[in-house]
Structure 1
Amino acid sequence: MTSSATPDASIPSGFQTYATGRQYELRRGDALAVVTELAAGLRLYSRADVQLTETYGDAEISPGAAGITLAPWANRVEDGVWYLDGKKQQLDITEVSRNNASHGLLRNSAYTLVDESQYSVTLEATVFPQHGYPFLVRHRVQYLLAEDLGLEVRQTLINDSNAPAPFVLGAHPYLRLGEADVDQLTLTVAADTRLVAD
């Protein structure tokens, strides 16, 4: 049996598709950020042509989940098991080699455009109730190139359920400073609380 794919007639002529969906390019001064439709990811961030995050080509998937946003949990849930009001919840195992549910439910989901301007883009995706996470929530992510050319990222979880929904939001930016050896750099975060993972 032979089959062949034919171009989708609904895609406008000249429209480019990418492995991570639509690419939203933000420019301000010498700052450039490229945000992806898939996982509301940050594919590239640079200032004066100095890469500040690990990047990858537009025809590639994100290596090691570089740049993706994480919702409704970050990190890993061992064996995919957690408890809600004493009742066991079983998430799908998405990291088979470690038997974990990894990095939330939206890492392979397309986000829809909510708002776009010259210097910012806001994307949103919905998590529908399912086994392991019985809540209806929307994850909204805004990227903004600020006046000082820094990149601001705001994440919000909107609970459309009839009950409180536990959540953690995270990001996977893979920071760098040009060609500097990351093992020689120190990142300092002004935080009041530190949560140690299992």
Structure 2
Amino acid sequence: MQLYPMSDFEIVGAEDFFATIYRRGAYVGQIVKNGKKILKETEDGVDIKGGIPILVPYGDLVRDAKYTFHGTEYHLPKNAHVVGNYRDSIHGLTRSQEWNVKKRNDNSISLFTEINDPGYPSILGVEITYTIIEGSFDASISVVNTGEMPAPLVIGAHPYFITSGPWKLHHQERIQMLNYPDGVFPDGKLMDYSFNDIDNPEKLNLDSSFVGGGALKLESKYSTIILERINMTYFEVYNGTFAGKDSVALEPLTGAIDAFNNGMGLKELASGEKFKCGFRITVY
């Protein structure tokens, strides 16, 4: 369980628009615009149940907490017990780490950490910069493989956006939904899907992954959220138990659930190679 002491955060932005950033996990505890909270906060201190956890070097689950990469089998922590799963690994290796503040000013902060874990084949340097700019919250993520071996990589974020009453999700471009024959792990098949044609998606039980879509717009009586993604082609929509009845998790990702095993969206970083991605949240 990952808990967040309230004394361990930085604030970026101004009184009318600011964010609280925790050094542990580079976790975004809250975004506030004109006095209105944008993110559902974790109720029990577990980071993946609120705010915006950052997920590196994998998002969502890795089946049985193991994978084979370049002929070697690796074992990850079986840490999904916080969601009632005692078999798999969930949401990366950096959420429990203390990130170092590299630089900051009133409207921006950059944090850095390193991944050097027996369950991972190489060493990664990970930097994330959060910026409040022109009415938006930006996250820019840069990962470099500083080790000698190739490295598998998926990057994600898990924002829970507060909603009120019915909500709708719009997308600019075509999307496809991943197929889950066992209800948990995708089999590589994709099916055309459209949220644009669904009037009441809040009535659906969503814990689903999609590819494409361009900019995403989440609308409810509470606010309108625009989520733009850079090199994060995948996204998940979650309105299950931890979202409650007052939020939706709209999660940008570079790859699919269990990509370390199924290869969907998996990025392989050569030694010395760098990868960049990010997302922008605009609130109306």
TM, length-normalised to structure 2: 0.56
Partner of residue 32, structure 1: 18
Partner of residue 72, structure 1: 57
Partner of residue 138, structure 1: 125
8 Å CA contact retained: 2:48, 2:158: no
Distance apart, 1:20 and its partner CA: 5.9
8 Å CA contact retained: 2:50, 2:160: no
- Pairwise mapping of residues 9-20 of structure 1 onto structure 2 (< 5 A)? 19=5
Distance apart, 1:29 and its partner CA: 6.1
Name the SS for the 1:151 alignment partner: strand
Query: 1:60/1:76 Cα in 2 relative to 1: closer, same or farther (>3 Å)?
Result: closer
Among 214, 219, 229, which residue is 1:190 paired with? Answer: 214
Query: 1:173/1:161 Cα in 2 relative to 1: closer, same or farther (>3 Å)?
Result: same
- Pairwise mapping of residues 87-166 of structure 1 onto structure 2 (< 5 A)? 87-96=72-81, 97-98=84-85, 99-130=87-118, 132-146=119-133, 148-166=134-152
Structure 1: which amino acid aligns with 2:30?
A: L
Structure 1: which amino acid aligns with 2:120?
A: Y
Structure 2: which amino acid aligns with 1:145?
A: I
8 Å CA contact retained: 1:137, 1:157: yes
CA distance in 1, matches of 2:154, 2:126: 11
Distance apart, 1:197 and its partner CA: 3.4
Query: 1:65/1:37 Cα in 2 relative to 1: closer, same or farther (>3 Å)?
Result: same
Per-residue CA shift, 1:74-125, capped at 9, x if unaligned? 1110101111113222112111442111111111111110111110000111
8 Å CA contact retained: 1:66, 1:174: yes
Misfit runs of 4+, over 2 Å: 59-63, 191-198
CA distance in 2, matches of 1:107, 1:165: 19
CA distance in 2, matches of 1:134, 1:196: 20
Structure 2: which amino acid aligns with 1:70?
A: L
Partner of residue 44, structure 1: 30
Distance apart, 1:36 and its partner CA: 0.5
Partner of residue 171, structure 1: 157
Name the SS for the 1:79 alignment partner: helix
CA distance in 1, matches of 2:32, 2:64: 38
Distance apart, 1:63 and its partner CA: 5.9
Structure 2 gaps, min length 5: 172-212, 216-231, 235-254, 259-284
Rg larger for: 1
Distance apart, 1:143 and its partner CA: 0.4
RMSD (Å) for aligned C-alpha atoms: 2.5
Structure 1 gaps, min length 5: 1-17
CA distance in 1, matches of 2:18, 2:104: 15
Distance apart, 1:127 and its partner CA: 1.0
Distance apart, 1:60 and its partner CA: 4.5
Per-residue CA shift, 1:100-156, capped at 9, x if unaligned? 1111111111111011111000011111141x202111211110001x220000111
Query: 1:61/1:196 Cα in 2 relative to 1: closer, same or farther (>3 Å)?
Result: closer
Partner of residue 3, structure 1: none
8 Å CA contact retained: 1:71, 1:167: yes
8 Å CA contact retained: 1:93, 1:101: yes
Distance apart, 1:21 and its partner CA: 5.9
Query: 1:158/1:196 Cα in 2 relative to 1: closer, same or farther (>3 Å)?
Result: closer
CA distance in 1, matches of 2:256, 2:48: 25
Partner of residue 13, structure 1: none
